[in-house]
A and B are shown apart, each in its own frame.
Chain A
Amino acid sequence: QVHLVESGGGLVKPGGSLRLSCAASGFTFSDYYMTWVRQAPGKGLEWISYISGTSSYINYADSVKGRVSISRDNSKKSVFLQMNSLRAEDTAVYFCARLHSSSWIDYWGQGSLVTVSS
C-alpha cells in the first residue's frame, strides 16, 4: 500500500527558510517521479515542483523558481523541498505526491501546513 508522510511544516517569518520532507513506503521509490503540490487556505491546487527517479530531471513552477529546491534520497525513500525567501503568499498546505507514468498524480500525502507570518 502506497503511503506518503510529509513533515517539517510550521510557522516561519517572512524571508525565512523551511525544509519539508516526505517519507514514502509501499512501492519501489526510485522508479517514480515525485512531486510537490500546494493549496493555500480556501484555494485550489497549485503544482510546485517535480523530480525524476534518478534526480536527473527537475522542474519548478514559475511562482517558486529560484526560491525552492527539490531533492530526493532513494536510499531513504524520501523527497525534500527546501524553501527559501518565504513570503506570506507561500502560506499553504504542501502535499507530497507520486507521479504515475511521469504524467498524473496517483497518490498524495496528508499534507504539511506552512504558515509564513511575522
Chain B
Amino acid sequence: QSVLTQPPSASGTPGQRVTISCSGSNSNVGQNPVNWYQQLPGTAPKLLIYNNDERPSGVPDRFSGSKSGTSASLAISGLQSDDEADYYCAAWHDSLNGPVFGGGTKLTVL
C-alpha cells in the first residue's frame, strides 16, 4: 500500500492530453514539493517534474505539473507513443523523514 495514491492506469490516443493525479496528506504533499518520475519499461526512473511544476532541462514542455492542497497532477499534452511508461509521484514525508511514492500509473498510448 503506497503512501501517495495514483490511479493504476491511464490511456489516451496520440495527440491527446492526459492527466495523472496524485493524492497525499498534510504530512507529505500538503507541506512539501511534489516530484514526478517517468519509468520506461526495463529502465531506471527519470526525473520529469520537480518542485511541483518545474522541468529539468531536456524534458519537453508537453509535460507539466501542478499542485493544490494535498493533491497534485501531471499533465501530458500532445501524447506520443514514446510516452508509454509508468509514472510515479513522490514527496517528502515529514514524520517518516524520507521520500514517499505513489503506486505508479501505467500510461498506455492507444
| A, B co-complexed | yes
Query: A residues bordering B, Cβ < 8 Å?
Result: 35, 37, 44-47, 50, 59, 61-62, 95, 100, 103-111
12 contacts between A and B (CB under 8 A): A44-B2, A44-B88, A44-B101, A44-B102, A44-B103, A45-B101, A45-B104, A59-B97, A103-B33, A104-B47, A108-B45, A110-B43
Chain A interface secondary structure, helix, strand, loop or mixed?
strand
Nearest chain B CB to A49 CB, angstrom units: 8
Nearest chain B CB to A55 CB, angstrom units: 17
Query: B residues bordering A, Cβ < 8 Å?
Result: 2, 32-33, 35, 37, 43-47, 50-51, 56, 88, 90, 92, 96-104
Q: Which residues of A contact B97 (CB under 8 A)?
A: 59
Q: How many inter-chain contacts with C-beta < 8 Å in the A-B complex?
A: 56
